Amino acid sequence: MEERGVLLKKYLLKCKLLLFPSLFGIALFYVIPYIRVIYYSFIENQFSRRFVWFDNYKTVLGNSYFRLALKNSLFLIVFAVPVLVTGAFVLSLLLLKMKGRWRMLRIAFIFPMLVPTASVVLVWRTLFSGNESVFPVYFLFWYKNIGLLVILISAAFSTLDNAVFEAARLDGAKGLMLHRKITLPLIFPTLLFTVLIGVVYSFKVFRESYLFYGGSYPPDHSYTLQYYMNNHFMKLNYQYLASGAVLTSLILYVIVVVGVKLQKKYSV
């Protein structure tokens, strides 16, 4: 028993040593820079480092462009993300009916993520020439991200036990009822995870809109939080950039925490 305890301690020590490079990298490239961002959000500017505490946050929250960007980012979550997840779910169901042949289509679904956005935007400008609505950006968001969600949901389908479906069919369940009563509850944690991925990616929408509209100030409906931060970076307003970044990260943190708790609650 004592020898087993010694071996366990050595094993745990090796695990810690193996984790150290990753933890060091996270601390060096993520934690320390984020602490510095928080510091910049509390000072007057990068030249006069006088603490102004929450004045920068008040200025950012009172800025009309920040409120516009926040509203557009939330609209993207409310309208674009559900369509993205629903489309990925429907495509996964269609691929499920194809059984083993769907594996041949994996490359096709991952391909949009591999193609440079600048190349896709050239096609988008041709397809949506003269379109003044927000839908070109939404369609590009769906096109770029749906492949990953299809792969994740299809992987969840592959873990389902056919015996459960056979028992449900014997009880009279079929068609939509079968998926509503059996499939959805079983893969619900995976669906929540894909929703979280969609939400995180929606906050990163910038390059697509920037390349499509070709400027730092697109139409109001496509002005996102990334635009706000990029414009203040170009103007060297690091204090407002930092404050906006902290507020955005807090919003994301709340969304992710709620999503993770829901995922744990409904895990089977």
User: CB neighbours of 210 closer than 8 A, spacing ≥ 6?
Assistant: 216, 218, 227, 230
Domain ranges of the chain: 55-265
- Residues 6 or more apart from 266 whose CB is under 8 A from it? 185, 188, 189, 192
User: Residue 156: which of 101, 241, 96 has the closest Cα?
Assistant: 96
Amino acid 246: pLDDT: 92
Question: 3-class DSSP state for residue 128?
Answer: coil
Element holding 174 (H helix, E strand): none
pLDDT tens for each residue of the chain, 268 residues long = 566 767 777 888 888 888 888 888 888 888 899 999 999 999 888 788 888 888 999 999 998 989 998 898 888 888 889 999 998 888 888 877 776 555 566 667 777 777 777 778 888 888 887 777 788 888 888 888 888 888 888 888 878 777 776 776 776 766 677 767 777 778 888 888 888 888 888 888 887 788 788 777 788 888 888 888 888 888 888 889 899 889 988 988 888 888 878 777 766 5
CA distance 157 to 165: 12
Q: How many CB atoms lie within 10 A of CB 40?
A: 19
∠ Cα 151 154 158 (to 5°): 135
Q: Which fold has domain 55-265?
A: MetI-like fold (1.10.3720)
- What pLDDT shows up at residue 106? 63
**How far apart, in whole angstroms, are the C-alpha atoms of residue 168 and residue 195?**
27
111 close to 147: Cβ distance less than 8 angstroms: yes
Q: Could you count the other beta carbons within 10 Å of the beta carbon of residue 95?
A: 20
Residue 43 has φ and ψ, to the nearest 5°, of -110, 165
Structure tokens, 7? 């071996």
